[in-house]
A = this chain, B = another copy of it.
């Protein structure tokens, strides 16, 4: 038709080869969402389990393409293998489908994690952004950046809700009390209220990593190696995926469980 010319207003947004495509989704207005649904503070493990299942479904939908996902709070990041040809590397397709799947799965799986007393009230939504990371080192630093954010949030929120719930401070007062405090002072505040930060569940302090279970140990048994057992959460259906709550910052660059899905690192290092 004579209107076909409009197709030419759709522009190419192809991503160059040999870089790590990364998408992060983040809940919109999840502060308000948490209140509306009376989520537990500071971390609602039902929400975490839901997010982890949702992330696992997204990773599974991009089998062989997404190498690793990491999330905490209301966000999740998906890192693709470097040379993946997903959607011919068209940025809009990649971004939109990741966000779409995440949103669908979130609504779909809500009831599995929250019982009838907590129905899904509002329509949840997520924004998404796509980053291009030029090397594996940047992937490591990206993950470290998000995990440091998890740690900072966990510390702040734990201290904050102790001040509110144990000391009876108003939210404003609690924020003011924490203003300018450093890590040590926040730990002290928790300690005085009976909380040893280092004993909080690793899931709260480290967030969650979704990876393919291969490498390290017997692949068929799909056993998680001893040191990881305490940081492991079973995922509902995905037999080939693991959800771990381990440290990504101090992990070895060549950890086969965490990073083997990115493909040969050797290759990367030589590049």
Which A residues form the contact surface with B (CB < 8 A)? 1, 3-12, 14, 16-19, 25, 28, 57, 61, 92-93, 95-97, 99-108, 120, 123-138, 141-142, 144-145, 148, 269-271
Give the 10 A-B residue pairs with the shortest CB-CB distance, closest first: A96-B128, A3-B145, A134-B134, A137-B271, A103-B103, A107-B107, A100-B103, A100-B125, A1-B148, A103-B104
Find out whether the CB atom of A128 lies under 8 angstroms from the CB atom of B108: no
Residues of B within 8 A of A18 (CB): 134-135, 138
In angstroms, how far is the closest chain B Cβ from the Cβ of A153? 13
Other contacts beyond A10-B131, A100-B127: 7, CB < 8 A: A4-B145, A5-B141, A6-B131, A10-B129, A57-B123, A95-B96, A137-B270
Query: In the bound complex, how far is the Cα of B3 from the Cα of A142, in angstroms?
Result: 7
Min C-beta distance of A79 to chain B, whole Å: 12
- Give the residues in chain B near A134, CB-CB below 8 Å: 16, 18-19, 134-135
Is the beta-carbon distance between A100 and B126 smaller than 8 angstroms? yes
Q: How far is the CA of A99 from the CA of B104 in the complex (A)?
A: 10
Q: A126 to chain B: which residues have CB within 8 Å?
A: 96-97, 100
Q: Say yes or no: A8 contacts B3, CB within 8 Å.
A: no
- The CB with the most chain B CB atoms within 10 A, among A9, A10, A93, A144, is that of A9
Contact between chains at A1 and B100 (CB < 8 Å) = no
Asked if B100 and A131 make an inter-chain contact with CB atoms under 8 angstroms apart, the answer reads no
B125 and A28: CB pair below 8 A? no
In the assembly, what is the distance between CA of A47 and CA of B263, in Å? 42
Interface centre among A11, A100, A106 (most CB of B within 10 A): A100
Which residues of B lie under 8 Å from residue A125 when comparing CB positions?
61, 97, 100-101, 104
Q: Which residues of chain B come closer than 8 Å to A127, judged between CB atoms?
A: 92-93, 96-97, 100
User: Which one of B92, B97, B101, B132 lies within 8 Å of A130 (CB-CB)?
Assistant: B92
A25 to B99 Cα, complex, angstroms? 12
Residues of B within 8 A of A136 (CB): 271
Contact status of A145 and B17, CB under 8 A, knowing A103-B100, A103-B101, A126-B96: no
Q: Which residue on chain B has the smallest CB distance to residue A133?
A: B9
